Amino acid sequence: MNEAEFIAALRTLPLHPGAEGLHDDTATLAIGGETLILTHDAIAEGVHYRPGTDPFDIAWKLVAVNLSDLAAKGATPLGVLIGAVLVEGAERFVEGLRAILTEYAVPLLGGDTISVSPATFGCTAIGRAGAAVPRRDGGRAGDALWVTGTIGAAMLGFEAGDGAAYLRPRPRLAEGRALAPHVHAMMDVSDGLLLDASRLAEASGCTAEIARAALPVAPGADPLRAATWGDDYELLFAAPADFAPPVAATRIGTLTDERAVPLLLDGAAPDFPLGYQHR
Amino acid sequence: MNEAEFIAALRTLPLHPGAEGLHDDTATLAIGGETLILTHDAIAEGVHYRPGTDPFDIAWKLVAVNLSDLAAKGATPLGVLIGAVLVEGAERFVEGLRAILTEYAVPLLGGDTISVSPATFGCTAIGRAGAAVPRRDGGRAGDALWVTGTIGAAMLGFEAGDGAAYLRPRPRLAEGRALAPHVHAMMDVSDGLLLDASRLAEASGCTAEIARAALPVAPGADPLRAATWGDDYELLFAAPADFAPPVAATRIGTLTDERAVPLLLDGAAPDFPLGYQHR
């Protein structure tokens, strides 16, 4: 059973209506007139970070990837629960938590601590959404496709071995809140811009037509490698053609009526992997 | 840094008011006039279950231990998020999830899937509380101390190698809801009845005076071993002396004004470990 088959099997379980058929990164829970956004991501040694990584960075990344999922919904974080592992240098883990929780004004709600090696950490983030909660399947033919910030900095940091951009991504919470009321579809870019754009397009029943020259690439990064590498945690969004984003963002293409493939780069279907595919 | 030091360090972080200073198993989140209960527990191969355990049982236990924390708050589950690992026999994991989610009418909200070995699974459970949310620190001198069901069945199952009681604990959700409006303090019994009773008493500023002969022990189990073994997931509660529980429960003792130690068994301080102490 591979991951796709496993997720298909999970879809046969009793699902909450807010689980959206497990087609999104987050769940919505309507309660008391409010809409909560819930997300859970785990990161494991040897899979999401290298053995020997400073526990400060593990803590930052663990929380950041979950806050990034809230950002894509335009949600304001209410708190996080941490599934922590008591690792060597746990003091640094606490300091990393302190840094990101303070930076984004997110309180710790609780969690659990275990001792296990190699370590797998979990985080559940809870946010409060506004009136509009963007999904990845709301894009329409004719929409412009945009991405915040630049892509490739995480790749460059990883390859240079300093890792700040790779290990300490900055979730686009303010940008997500500013964009949510206006966009048709939005998601964070975790597995590669081209792959995530193809997913947004496919979910929306469209094709993403992207111009390679338009990609906002970090200085020094190869555009195609940057666009297929992932871990930048920028926001990708589809909005009406005449929408002017209130945040720093670059228009990278257009959603069109569905073609044979979900993504065209300079008019052709790429013959290389679009990003990081989970096995 | 050991677990106690780690948790002490976590308490210096920005905490949500509902985190209760990380002194409880759950957090409360007041939103839109409702009170949500949130809990996160992880279980790891080699720590919480033996290598080779049927993934059906891993799934059941993963969800059950979290629902048990909701039960102690008298909460009704709204859903769970699962941090899953793609293990050998993942079909059985899905079937175990189906069994417990169906049994307790809990929908799946979402989660994450990773591939890592040895496996560490996470679960976040969310519930809706009633007007009364019992804490572990609300016990008062003069309260009677009670426990639901029997203790020791998990130990006997573990030792016999069949493991049904050990691996498929039954969270006392209905009992928790029935008791919550009436008790002064409540918690689930996960680490050993005597240890958990001493924690409830200590948090409440009392001493738990327990009579060994009163312990409701599963047939065939040694009372002292059963009372220090854990994993039964019964509910321990303190209630006014004249309270008659509406559920199957046994009175095991009394809370008294604080003495030198948090727990007395037949009038003496035990000279053996009270339960499973995390290192």
ipTM value for the complex = 0.93
Min Cα distance B113 → chain A (Å) is 7
Strands of the sheet with A206-210, listed across from one edge: A185-188, A235-239, A144-148, A249-257, A206-210, A263-265
Q: How far is CA B278 from the centre of its chain?
A: 14
Segment B119-131 mean pLDDT: 97
Q: Which CATH number is B144-265 given?
A: 3.90.650.10
pLDDT > 90? residue A163 = no
B39 is in an annotated binding site: yes
Which pLDDT band holds residue B259 (cuts at 50, 70, 90)? confident
Distance (Å) of CA A261 to CA A201, A276, B65, B273: 10, 18, 45, 64
Torsion, Cα of B211, B216, B219, B223 (10° steps)? -30
A188 is in an annotated binding site: yes
CA-based torsion, B270, B71, B169, A111: positive or negative: negative
Closest Cβ opposite residue A22 in set B34, B98, B110: B110
Which pLDDT band holds residue A6 (cuts at 50, 70, 90)? very high
Which pLDDT band holds residue A276 (cuts at 50, 70, 90)? confident
- The average confidence (pLDDT) of chain A is 94
DSSP string computed for A213-224: GG--BPTT--HH
Q: A181: cis peptide before it, omega within 30°? A: no
Is there a contact between A136 and A22 (Cβ–Cβ < 8 Å)?
Answer: no
| Least confident segment among A2-11, A32-41, B79-88, B153-162 | B153-162
pLDDT > 50? residue A279 = no
* Predicted pLDDT of residue B133: 97
When the candidates are 3.40.50.620, 3.30.300.210, 3.30.1660.40, 3.30.1330.10, the CATH number that belongs to A25-128 is 3.30.1330.10
CB atoms within 10 A of CB B178: 14
| For chain B, counts of helices (H) and of strands (E) | 8, 11
Contact B14 A108 (CB under 8 A): yes
Domain ranges of chain A: 25-128, 144-265
Residues of A in contact with B119 (CB under 8 A): 120
Residues of A in contact with B84 (CB under 8 A): 6, 10
pLDDT > 80? residue B277 = no
Q: What is the pLDDT of residues B206-258, one digit of tens each?
A: 999 999 999 999 999 999 999 999 888 999 999 999 999 999 999 999 999 98
Give Cβ neighbours of residue B91 (< 8 Å, ≥ 6 apart).
A1, A9, B55
The pair phi, psi for residue A109, each rounded to 5°, is: -95, -30
* Predicted pLDDT of residue B12: 98
Q: What is the pLDDT of residues B8-19, one digit of tens each?
A: 999 999 999 999
Contact B122 A83 (CB under 8 A): yes
Closest Cβ opposite residue B86 in set A6, A15, A27: A6
Question: B226 by DSSP, 3-state: which?
Answer: helix
Segment A213-218 mean pLDDT: 96
Tokens 């509902």 belong to residue? B18
Distance (Å) of CA A239 to CA A147, A148, B111: 11, 13, 28
- The average confidence (pLDDT) of chain B is 94
* Predicted pLDDT of residue B170: 94
Backbone conformation region of residue B36, classed left if phi is above 0, alpha if psi is from -120 to 50, else beta: beta
Same fold flag, A25-128 and A144-265: no
Residues of A in contact with B120 (CB under 8 A): 42, 44, 83, 85, 114, 116, 119-120, 122
Closest CA to B188 of B173, B202, B167: B173
Q: What is the pLDDT of residues B127-172, one digit of tens each?
A: 999 999 999 999 999 999 999 999 998 899 888 876 677 789 999 9
CA A65 – CA A85 distance, rounded (Å): 18
Instruction: Specify the CATH superfamily of domain B20-128.
Output: PurM-like, N-terminal domain (3.30.1330.10)
Q: What is the pLDDT of residues A70-127, one digit of tens each?
A: 999 999 999 999 999 999 999 999 999 999 999 999 999 999 999 999 999 999 999 9
Contact A124 B81 (CB under 8 A): yes
Is there a contact between A128 and A28 (Cβ–Cβ < 8 Å)?
Answer: no
* Predicted pLDDT of residue A203: 95
Q: What is the pLDDT of residues B171-218, one digit of tens each?
A: 999 999 999 999 999 999 999 999 999 999 999 999 999 999 999 999
Q: What is the pLDDT of residues A118-161, one digit of tens each?
A: 999 999 999 999 999 999 999 999 999 999 999 998 899 888 87
A11 is in an annotated binding site: no
Contact B29 A111 (CB under 8 A): no
Q: What is the pLDDT of residues B55-68, one digit of tens each?
A: 999 999 999 999 99
